[in-house]
Structure formats: structure tokens, C-alpha cells
Amino acid sequence: MPPSLPIYMDNASTTRTDPRVVEAMLPYFSEIYGNSASRNHCFGWDAEHAVNTARRQAADLIGAGPKEIIWTSGATESNNLAIKGAARMYAKAPAGESGRGHIITAIHEHKAVIDPCKRLEREGFDVTWLEPGEDGLITRAMIEAALREDTILVTIMWANNELGTINEIPAIGALCHERGVVLHTDATQWVGKMPTNVETDNIDLLSFSGHKIYGPNGVGALYVRRRRPRIRLEAMIDGGGHERGMRSGTLNVAGIVGMGAACALCSAEMDAEGERLFQLRTRLERSLVDSMDVVQINGNIEKRLPHITNISFGFVEGESLMMGIKDIACSSGSACTSASLEPSYVLKALGVGDELAHSSLRLSLGRWTTQEEVDYASLQIREAVEHLRAMSPLYDLHNEGIDISTIEWDAH
Ligand code: PMP
């Protein structure tokens, strides 16, 4: 039976909120609507109780203590709080002066890490921007080579959102702890999909988000280590002193309840779901790679999340490819920046050429992806690629064995 259309294969962008999560949230809009900071009546106590339950659920998912969870509006805010908060707290010189301290990050991090680091650069911090290898990975050795006497913070994502590639965070964390440097990891794509234990994984600060794990939008969390060592942060939002003074503002109780429920479901179902998605992704990749030439999977092939694939199709034009697979919601290797189509900076960081970056797709499977959907998507993509190649004179030349890169084009 053909699947119902359109097909959602963009789960790395956001996920459908699990109906069980919606169910858990509903009472907190109209029945238990107190302010969780209201200490003198039962409406407040009930809300606070719900927030604490969710705190425990989020903490359990990552092997933390409940007091180490700070609620935020999402991973963007968690990253900002972690990076700016730690840098400003551990700065070696006052604001306005140079030489405030050294930070290590990478050029293909999410913008929610890159932009806070750029701001800190303007504030007098020194930032080392590591470049990944062709496989997209940042290794312990790369961090070790970049560490300096004045390094105060390392911020490296656990899994890349465009590629799904996995960095060796536990090894990087061990190194940071040996050197007394704070480690933050943007684990937005990792948490809820892969087992996490902030203790044994040697992490000080970890960002994650509700809407990537089948919870609601607009709620996220930051793990802040309390012991060995205790990490302190300068707050970005001042006010009523909520969340141990690190993030003031009345809590989004319904959202937090939803994120807690989403975390509990991930804890229970992650292993089986990961295996199922791995099988589906393998089926999808095999059917594309085995049936066509000039198809390349980007990023390290082994060290990847089970549900994401990033594939380039040579000799097709990216926009036309996207038009040809209108029933499949996925992301392209291009980003629209101010009216111009830019190739993905992540793919560029791996050395993927502009042409190939433009003709890349990121397909990310999720909790409701079926085998029928995978097979249908594969067929659609193959048909679209073959159709476009049939019209491509360059592909004809390639088939005749001519190396396109050696052709000298006449510029009349
Ligand atoms: N970091 C990564 C790696 C992400 O994939 C995303 C979401 N695209 C974010 C941060 C931002 O998360 P949020 O939407 O919760 O602010």
C-alpha cells in the first residue's frame, strides 16, 4: 500500500509532538495552571510538583541530578547561557579588555554556538575555530593541539545536525577535566537518541531541546554540573532568581511537563527505536547508493546517529531535485541567506564542493517513519535524479569517460 503523502523526513529539524506527550501536557493549561513559584497555595504547589517530576525525568535521561537541570526556551538559549555564561564567569580579565581567555570550538557547529562565540570574540575573548577532517569529526587530538594555558572553555557538539556525525565527547571531556577546562556540548541531536551519562561522559554543561525529542517547541534544558567541579555561570536573564538564579522568568509549566514526558519516553524506548531507525536508514541508503552512480554519503560512515543521512547526488541541480520530490519533506544542502542560495557551510567544512553541496539532501527519519515511506521516498528520489540526469549534457560526458574538471570551457 502506498504511504499517505506528504512524507516527513525532516526529524532533525523538528519532530511531531508525541500524542502521549500532548496528553500529559493538557491538564497544565486549564486545570493545574498555577505559577510554580507561588509558594503559598496548592495551585502553585501542584505546578511546582509537576516541574520537579519533569526535572527528574530530564535528569534521568542524561544521568544527572535534578538540581543540575536548568529550564530554558530551547537549545539556542541553553547554548547561549552555557557559552556566554561560562566565558564571562571564568574570564581572566574584566569586560572591555583583551586577553579575557581562550575558547575552542569548530567551524561547523550549529549557528547557536557559532554566533555566541563570535560575540565573545568581539568582547575580547580569543576563539580557536577548529576545522574537521573530511569525515566531519572533531577529535580529542585536535582539541589537545589547540589547548593553551589560558583556555577556559571548549564547546563542541556531540552530534552534527546536518550529518549526524558523532564526536568523541567522553574522550574530549576527560582531556578537559585533566586540564581544568570547562566542557560544554550542544547535544541537541544526540540526547534522547543515544545513551548519555554526564558523569562517565565527563561533561560540565550540556544543551538539549524538547522539540527534537518528540516534545513541544519552546522548551529546552541546560545541564550544569554541581560537583567535581561545580560550574558557575553568569546569568543572561535577570529577574526573580528562578532556576538557581541562572535563568529568571516564570516557568513554562505545560511545556516543561511535556519535555519531561518526552524524556521519559526516550529513556524507555530509545534502544529499540534506534535499532529500528538504523535498519530503515540502511535500507534507504542501500537502495540509493546501489542503484545509482556518483552518489556520496557525507560524513563519517560509522560514527553517525542511526536516523540521519546526508547524501550528495552528482550531476543534478539541487533546486530541481527538491522540486522533483515535493512529496518528501527533507532539508537540502543549501541555505537561503538574504535572497541568495548558499551551499551548506557544514558540507563546505568537509571539503564538499559547491556543486555537490547544492545537490545534497539531509533525510532524517523518526518515530513514525515506516518502511513503506522509506521505499516510496527512495523511489521518488531515484526517479527525480534519473530524470534530471537524462537532461544533463555533463552527465553524458561523464558517462563517456570524460573528466569534467579537465574541460576548458569556451567563454564566448
Ligand atoms: N543545536 C543543534 C545542533 C540543533 O540542531 C538545533 C536545532 N536546529 C539547535 C541547536 C537549536 O535548538 P532550538 O530550536 O531548541 O533552539
Q: Which residues are catalytic?
A: 336
Residue 173's domain is classified under what CATH number? 3.40.640.10
Angstrom distance (rounded) from CA 290 to CA 295: 9
CA–centroid distance, 262 to ligand 1, in Å, is 16
Verify that 172 and 216 share a domain, yes or no: yes
Is the four-CA dihedral 282, 285, 287, 293 of positive or negative sign? negative
- Return the residue matching grid coordinates 518526552: 262
Amino acid at site 230: R
pLDDT attached to residue 322: 92
Mean pLDDT of 59-72: 98
Q: Place 256 in a pLDDT band, splitting at 50, 70 and 90.
A: very high
Angstrom distance (rounded) from CA 198 to CA 86: 17
Q: Place 339 in a pLDDT band, splitting at 50, 70 and 90.
A: low
CA–centroid distance, 39 to ligand 1, in Å, is 33
pLDDT tens column, 263-273:
999 999 999 99
The pLDDT of residue 211 is above 80: yes
Where does residue 202 fall: left (phi above 0), alpha (psi -120 to 50 degrees), or beta otherwise?
A: left
pLDDT tens column, 109-136:
999 999 999 999 999 999 999 999 999 9
pLDDT attached to residue 338: 58
Among residues 360, 310, 297, the alpha carbon closest in space to that of 333 is found at 360
Give the chain's radius of gyration (CA, Å). Answer: 23
Verify that 98 and 183 share a domain, yes or no: yes
Verify that 258 and 331 share a domain, yes or no: no
Q: Does residue 250 contact residue 260 with C-beta atoms inside 8 Å?
A: no
Question: Which atom belonging to ligand 1 lies closest to the Cα atom of 157?
Answer: 3
CA–centroid distance, 302 to ligand 1, in Å, is 23
Phi, psi of 134 (to 5 degrees): -60, -20
Give a yes or no: residue 343 inside a domain. yes
Q: Which three cell numbers stand for residue 259?
A: 519535555
Angstrom distance (rounded) from CA 347 to CA 136: 8
Verify that 315 and 384 share a domain, yes or no: yes
Number of domains in the chain: 2
Angstrom distance (rounded) from CA 380 to CA 374: 10
The pLDDT of residue 336 is above 70: no
Q: Does residue 210 contact residue 75 with C-beta atoms inside 8 Å?
A: no
Verify that 220 and 252 share a domain, yes or no: yes
Verify that 123 and 235 share a domain, yes or no: yes
The whole-chain average pLDDT of the chain stands at 95
Q: Among 82-91, 94-103, 134-143, which is the least confidently predicted range? A: 94-103
Q: Is the distance from the beta carbon of residue 220 to the nearest atom of ligand 1 less than 6 Å?
A: yes
Higher pLDDT, 318 or 243: 243
Q: Which three cell numbers stand for residue 35?
A: 505559577
CB-count burial class (<10 Å; 0-12, 13-18, 19+) for 382? middle
